[in-house]
Amino acid sequence: MRTTITGWPGGRTRDSPVESVLRWWDVIGRVLGKYRILDQIGDGGMGVVYRAEHVMLGSPAAVKVLLPQFTKDPVVVDRFFTEARAASSIRHVGITEVFDYGRLAGNQAYIAMELLRGEDLTSFLARHGTLDPTVAAMITMQVLAALNAAHVIGVVHRDLKPDNIYLTRDRGAPGGIRVKILDFGIAKLVGDQHGNKTKTKGGSILGTPVYMAPEQCRGAGDIDARADIYAVGCILFELLTGRPPFVAEGGGEVMAMHIYEPPPRASSLRPTLPAELDALLAKMLTKVADERIPSAAYALAALERVPLPPLDGNELALANERAASYEPTLDEPRDRLPRWIPIAVLAVALVIAIAAIYLIGIRSEVSTGG
């Protein structure tokens, strides 16, 4: 499963296998805040995510803990807590619910959030290939509905991508899938309950190049909800054609293409697409923000009017439905234990068994006088 951290300073810090195991073993069973840690879900360059349960209620949760070396950086901590504040303020079924956030006894920052079961859109697309237009539209409409709830209260995600869109099982949702948006770590909080404004330094570039709006690529300071609309257009383009609108070797090249090159029409790669869907997608990918579709609500209404056949009633298959596979904002996720651990345990058990057989044989010889 591909997951990445973008827009956060600091590179990946690799522990040796022994250090990783010791840290994992030391935390399991402990109580962090209001939550008892059960096991580790993911491990990345900025933090560790654990499966947990509320001490008093027993309800499940995912606890994301920032690594100690990044707790000292106020910029990183601010973005970490921005994720909690932004997500908790939206309160929509399509936004991952945040239960609590704060600092542990060792001053490490943590976020307790909803534990999800399913897979991210990247993995779903890799397994299913290019999606049927009806399925692609269903997923996109749920994303737009959740985004509209965020935009209404002044939260702009700014890093939408397939990795940050999670699919969970919900028999009451279209196709049996509920779409959840993750990772508001670099979200722009346009305003809060007290009317304060959150400003971003002009010239700073945050996001993932493949899905960034032209104004983000230029480092413009005034980024609004229309940047998220552009990102959704890039994602929908990929769902329908199997590739994003712009592909190049490096991130800088991709950003230049967003700024200067016209995006290809989806119908040029998939001629059977409905003309209405092709035109809507082109409008979402308009380079000038003032000429782009103005809001998620507008895009949602337009997508609902596209003539597409209904879903056939069959639920779409999700991988890992029975195992929580929630791995938000972690790069290069690893197994809970390094792969050599089971082999080492088996080897030790084999040595013990051989030694036991040998000792039993010696005792038998002694007892018989041999």
95-134: per-residue pLDDT in tens?
A: 988 898 888 877 888 889 999 989 999 999 999 889 999 9
pLDDT at residue 250 tops 70: yes
Q: Which residues are catalytic?
A: 159
- What average pLDDT score do residues 143-160 get? 92
What residues contact 154, with CB distance under 8 A and at least 6 apart?
189, 190, 191
Quick one: pLDDT at residue 190? Answer: 52
Structural domain ending residue among the three candidates 116, 136, 160: 116
In this prediction, what percent of the chain has a pLDDT beyond 70? 74
Say if residues 185 and 83 touch (Cβ distance below 8 Å).
Answer: yes
Q: How many domains does the chain have?
A: 2
3-class secondary-structure state, position 206: coil
Within this chain, do residues 109 and 125 fall inside the same structural domain, yes or no? no
What is the DSSP code string of 152-198?
A: HTTEE-----GGGEEEEE-TTSGGGEEEEE---TT-EE---TT----
Location of structure tokens 């534990």: 115
**Residue-wise over 181-216: b if at least 16 C-beta within 10 A, else e?**
bbbbbbbbbbeeeeeeebebeeeeebbbbbbbbbbb
Within this chain, do residues 111 and 170 fall inside the same structural domain, yes or no? no
**d(C-alpha 307, C-alpha 184), whole Å:** 33
pLDDT at residue 268 tops 60: yes
221-to-76, 158, 270, 370 alpha-carbon distances in Å: 19, 12, 36, 89
**d(C-alpha 181, C-alpha 163), whole Å:** 9
Query: Considering only 70-84, 158-172, 283-297, which range has the smallest mean pLDDT?
Result: 70-84
- What average pLDDT score do residues 91-97 get? 90
* CATH number of the domain encompassing residue 38: 3.30.200.20
Within this chain, do residues 244 and 214 fall inside the same structural domain, yes or no? yes
Quick one: pLDDT at residue 55? Answer: 92
What angle in degrees, to the nearest 10, is found between the helix axes of 225-241 and 296-304?
A: 30
Query: Considering only 72-76, 192-196, 303-307, which range has the smallest mean pLDDT?
Result: 192-196
pLDDT at residue 11 tops 60: no
| Of the candidates 145, 165, 148, the residue with the CA atom closest to the CA atom of residue 295 | 148
pLDDT band at 320 (very low <50, low <70, confident <90, very high): low
What are residue 332's phi and psi, to 5 degrees? 45, 65
DSSP 41: E
Within this chain, do residues 122 and 256 fall inside the same structural domain, yes or no? yes
Check residues 38 and 349 and name the one with the higher pLDDT: 38
The boundaries of the domain holding residue 288 are 118-304
